[in-house]
Each structure stands twice: as structure tokens, then as C-alpha cells.
Amino acid sequence: MDLNALEAKLQFVFKNKDILRTALTHRSYLNEHRNYPLPNNERLEFLGDAVLELAVTGYLYENYPNPEGELTNLRSALVNYRMLSAIAGDCDLESHLLLSRGEAKDAGRARQVILANAMEAVIGAMFLDGGYDRTHEFIKRHVLTKLPEVIATKSYIDPKSHLQELVQEKSGITPAYQVLSEVGPDHNKVFTMGVYIGSQKVGEGTGPSKQEAEVTAAEAALKEGTWKQFV
């Protein structure tokens, strides 16, 4: 595995390359490569999650006088799996991940979660290899720079709450959600939900649960702005 290109993207050169290789090793890979000499990345993911949360929490506390609840929402928007998978994409982490053939075929939310977990593992590897200060520099460059966009788009507010607030302010109507489809076996369902204002569908989304599909539908309505026609 040639790690030079990845280190250039991360702007972080590891003294111990095996720590980075471990961060890139999904547990499924070990099932197909029994003699692989390194462990999977789950312990590093556990460590990286804590380091990331500390860095983001400290930055928010020092720079934003918001109440605790708002700071919690801002932090959640910066460290959730969608944001971390996007940051992993910026760093081209995916092309360096070691996955089983089955996991490599996953798409959608499952792939996002794998990428987000790997990103946390890489942060944990940075902490072990270079210490907190160097890791914090990476977090500032790649995570905290997302904060202005999060604030501007209000993506730190739950999409369902945000849509409801906007619609009720204009019309007094509360958006309603309906199941449009439900496919797959019980252990791997995919739900499609529609969000409606009155009888008009203003957004549609899918997810592994009704709740997540509702959130995706609300996000679609907010992004497309279709709800504005019916209030």
C-alpha cells in the first residue's frame, strides 16, 4: 500500500506507517486475509472519536458564547457520519481503505458510515503518532473550516424541526410524513418517506428506518425549496 499520496492529502506524515495502515483496515478485510499482520481499525476509531470531540468542543467553547444546547447541536453537525464521510472523501481515504469484497460493494449510508469510522480511526492514528497539537491542526484544517457553512445553512438544526419551523411561520401548517415504500428483508429494510404540506408532497427521502427517511425527506424539501410554493 503506497501511503505517500494519502499523507500528502492529509498533510500529515506518519513516523509509524503501520499505525496509518491499521487505521485503514476494516474488520471485514481480516476475514478474507487471515494472515494479515495488523489489527482492524476499531480501537483507533474509538480513540479518534474522543480526540475529535475534545478538539471540536474546546474550539466551540472558546469561540462561541451560545447556550450548551446550541453548542451540542453545532458539535453534532461537525462530527456526524455524513460530515466525516465527506471529509474522508476530501482526503481520498476511500481509495486506500482495506475492505472485504462484499463491503467494497456497499453504497449509500453503509459506505458513508465505513468512511466516517475510518476518518475517526485516522484521527486516532494521528494522535498516537504525532500528539494532540499536530492532530488538532488537521482538525482545524479539515473539520472546523466547515463551521461557517454549517451555521450559514443552519444544518446544525434538525432538518425536520427546521422545516416545521419555516412552514409554521409562513402558514401555521405542520408538515406530515407518509410511507411511500418499504422494501427489503426485516434486517435490511429501506424506507422511502414523503413529506407533505396539506396534500402536496414537497420532499422525498430514503433511509434504513422511517425516522432517518423522514430526516432525508425534510433535507430534500429544504434544499429544493419546493415547500415555499404551498405556504
Annotated binding-site positions for Mg(2+): 45, 117, 120
Rounded to whole angstroms, the Cα distance separating 56 from 87 reads: 15
26, 133, 148, 165, 178 from 128: Cα distances, Å:
19, 11, 29, 44, 47
Is 96 in contact with 118 (CB distance < 8 Å)? Answer: no
Rounded to whole angstroms, the Cα distance separating 98 from 104 reads: 9
Grid coordinates representing 33 are 486475509
Q: Which of 49, 103, 129, 214 is catalytic?
A: 49
Q: Is 49 in the active site?
A: yes
Cell 444544518: give the residue.
155
Rounded to whole angstroms, the Cα distance separating 174 from 72 reads: 26
Q: What is the DSSP letter of 175?
A: P
Residue numbers belonging to the annotated binding site? 45, 117, 120
Q: Is 92 in the active site?
A: no
Q: Which of 103, 120, 129, 214 is catalytic?
A: 120
Q: Which residues pair with 192 in a beta bridge?
A: 181, 206
Residue 212, SS3?
A: helix
Grid coordinates representing 191 are 424506507
Q: Which residues pair with 182 in a beta bridge?
A: 191
Sequence-ordered list of residues with C-beta below 8 angstroms from that of 63, at least 6 positions apart, any chain: none
Rounded to whole angstroms, the Cα distance separating 111 from 108 reads: 6
Just list the catalytic residues. 49, 120
